[in-house]
Homo-oligomer: A and B are copies of this chain.
Amino acid sequence: MLVSEATLVIGVDAMGGDYAPEAIIEGAIAAVTEGGGEFQVRLFGDEARIQTLLGDPASTKDISIVHAPDTIGMHESATAAVKTKRDASVVRMLESHRDGEVHGCVGAGNTGAMMAAATLILGRIAGIARPTIGTFFPSERGRVLVVDAGANVDSTPRHLVQFGVMGAVFVGMMLGIERPAVGLLSVGEEESKGNEAVVEAHRLMKNAPFRFVGNVEGRDILKGKADVVVCDGFIGNILLKFAESVPLFLKTKLRHAAGKGLWNRLAVGLASGTLRNIMREWDYQEHGGVPLLGVNGVAIIGHGRSTPKAVRNMIFKAREMIDRRVSEHIAASVRSFQTAAET
């Protein structure tokens, strides 16, 4: 199927994720149906399988397929696989993005492969040393972007500053916050507090092209003391997984409590619904995946367990990132920083 120049096309890896291709295709159909022709989805994967699952041609007129029969497993070495498996769905998808055939990408398969493919094929934005993944935490005031959320370990001070640049642009463009507050995650507010990398990053951030509000502590994330919280990906990943485990922990504890007496059981039953609503903010399905920031393009990385709803949300998030020209704004922000540093 040919797509006119003006139409927005979002590439989706039909073969990536625990419930692929069924859940992915279902999510894609939901997205284009809701989109009502405003954008199209191009599925990358095993054409015959996808065709069988697509069903009713009327509801899928905005979906096209690119045959890419190979897949990269969850435990394969990402970079090696991306370099050798030329027919892998994720590789073909990113190549299409590089060539301008699709305008953004969504994938819920091997996270490392999606990152490696995006970085190798799209290339890094000039001035960005390491692309990063940011993820939203809930806060008392709204939402907080924690960046890096696991893409990079052993980040240097310069990397940390760049995470701040990318996070500030992303939050600014996506949440419409004019000058988002960027905090540096540390173990105390004083600029002398932290490990070596953080102390040096603090110094560099004073001249960064974002509103730096200084160090923030672990307790400040949920308080919403900053719009963007910068940390090394080792910490970001541990924090994210810890936070995601809190709802289940509370549920288990509540269930225990419910065992003790009718009154408690009633209380717990009533509270569960309320708690569930609060916890929804921690739900990856609602988030619609996380963006890989710092590459020349739009790449949304989904959870391995992405459901149709999550896929639908990822497609809409990709579309929004394309519309708001997040990558272009990151490039401009980094450029201004470099120019300032050189003068």
Q: CB within 8 Å of B: which residues of A?
A: 138-140, 150, 153-154, 185-187, 194-196, 198, 217-223, 231-235, 237-246, 248-250, 252-254, 257, 264, 266-268, 270-271, 273-275, 277-278
Contact = CB atoms under 8 A, between A and B. Distances in A.
A99 B150 CA distance: 49
B153 A194 contact: yes
Nearest to A266: B270
A328 B56 CA distance: 74
A242 B271 contact: no
Contacts of A140: 249, 252-253
Contacts of A138: 249
A153 B274 contact: no
Chain copies in complex: 2
Among A217, A220, A231, chain B packs the most CB atoms within 10 A around the CB of A217
Contact of A187 (B150, B221, B271): B150
A186 B249 CA distance: 20
B270 A275 contact: no
A232 B154 CA distance: 13
A117 B233 CA distance: 34
Contacts of A243: 218, 242
A218 B234 CA distance: 10
B242 A254 contact: no
Contacts of A270: 266-267, 270-271
A233 B194 CA distance: 10
B246 A246 contact: yes
A145 B108 CA distance: 34
Query: Interface majority SS on A: helix, strand, loop or mixed?
Result: helix
Given A138-B249, A254-B275, 17 more contacts: A140-B252, A153-B194, A185-B238, A186-B238, A187-B234, A187-B238, A195-B232, A218-B240, A218-B241, A218-B242, A222-B245, A238-B239, A250-B278, A253-B278, A257-B274, A268-B271, A271-B275
A266 B268 CA distance: 11
Contacts of A186: 234, 238
Contacts of A194: 153, 234
A10 to B, nearest CB: 29
A196 B187 CA distance: 21
Among A187, A233, A238, A245, chain B packs the most CB atoms within 10 A around the CB of A238
A270 B258 CA distance: 12
A110 to B, nearest CB: 13
Given A218-B239, A241-B219, A243-B242, A153 B187 contact: yes
Among A219, A232, A257, chain B packs the most CB atoms within 10 A around the CB of A219
A217 B241 contact: yes
A24 to B, nearest CB: 24
Contacts of A246: 222, 246
A150 B218 CA distance: 12
A98 to B, nearest CB: 29
Contacts of A218: 237-245
A274 B269 CA distance: 11
Given A245-B221, A268-B271, A153 B195 contact: yes
